[in-house]
Structure formats: C-alpha cells, structure tokens
Amino acid sequence: MEKKMLLKKGAESELYLIDWYGQNAVSKIRVSKKYRHHSIDLILRKHRTLHEARIMSSVKMFDVVTPFVYFLDSNNFEIIMEYIVGNVLKDVFSPNFCTELGQIVAKLHLNNIIHGDLTTSNFIITPQNHLVVIDFGLSFYSERMEDKAADIRLFKEILNSVHVEFFKTSFENFYLGYNKIYGKESLKLFNTVDEIEQRGRYSR
C-alpha cells in the first residue's frame, strides 16, 4: 500500500487509487479545514467519515449498488473502498441511463436517504451498462418532502446545464423511473420541485 495515485481532489476530501492486498482500491481521505477550530474539525471529519461509510453499506439492503467498503479508519478519516471499473456517467451520458437513475434515487428517497450531490459525476457506468452510485459525502437522512425535492432539483439543474441538449428526454426518463419505484406520491414530490424553482425565481 505504499504506492498511491491521486484520482481526484475535492473541497472535502481526496481520492487515491491504491493497492489493497493485490487489487485496486480507492482511498478516500477527508482533509482538514483551516478555517475550522481544530477540535471541531476533528469531530466533524470523524463523524462524516463514519456516516458516509454507514450509508454506503446500508443502501445495499434495498438494491442500490455502491462500492464495497473494505476498511474504515475513522481516526485517520479514511474509507478504503472497491474500485469500480467503468466510465463516469458525465463522460458517456445518454438519456437512456436516466430511467435507471430515477429508480435508484427513488429507492434512496423511499428509505429517507438524501444523496445531497446528485450530479452525473457521481454515477459510474459499468461495462455491463449498470449504474453505481458514488460519493455519499453530503448524504443525510430526512423524511421531508422538501429535502427529497431539493435532491431532485439539483439533478434537474445539472441536466439543464451540463447536458442541456438532452434535457427534456432525460428528465422525462428520470421521472418515469422514479415514479415506477416511488409510486403515487411522485407527482406531489415533483410539484414541490417546481415550487422550489418558482421561489428561487421570485427571490431573484
């Protein structure tokens, strides 16, 4: 495990490709924030590391595919997890993937899990054309419809900015997939998405 290669450097953490007992794995390490008091920083990083690992493991119980957690070191704010072979959805985007993506998000929401960062950079397409969800660093539990709607609104904004040429078909497919899993409350939830958007326009 001496060798490691930086894969991604984010605001909250750094991702490294490492060797884990002869196989590729990903090490996610939460980095210190200089603007936070040292003791608060330690508590937050430890809590968020534990929280993310728990959610990544728990969602498997309702058929959401995430990387397997191999090792958790909360004292060093590190999660070592499965390296997923595939392409980031953002790089190989097609509206056809949005139906399955909608189903995945609906499964999370049915179990009151808000992903918190639903972008096409946080899904990996495997060689078998299945979606794997990554990066639960901003996830949290909530029963509130408003929180679920805000999750969906973020994804809608990503479609309308990064994948604007496919927006209409993609969001329609997302809704179809979501509705199939979430059921009759879906329409009410998507109406809440519209309400949040309207409030945003009025505030400007």
Please give the average pLDDT of every successive group of 10 residues along the chain, which has 204 residues.
81 93 96 87 93 96 97 96 97 97 98 97 95 96 97 97 97 98 95 88 54
Helix, strand, coil in percent for the chain, rounding step 5: 55, 20, 25
- Write down the catalytic residue from 41, 117, 147, 151: 117
Task: Quote the pTM value.
Answer: 0.91
CATH 1.10.510.10, the chain: domain bounds: 87-203
CATH of the domain spanning 87-203: 1.10.510.10
CATH 3.30.200.20, the chain: domain bounds: 4-82
Active site annotation includes 135: no
Q: What is the side-by-side order of every strand in the sheet holding 4-9?
A: 4-9, 13-20, 23-30, 78-82, 69-73
SS3 state of residue 53: helix
| Domain 4-82 superfamily per CATH | Phosphorylase Kinase; domain 1 (3.30.200.20)
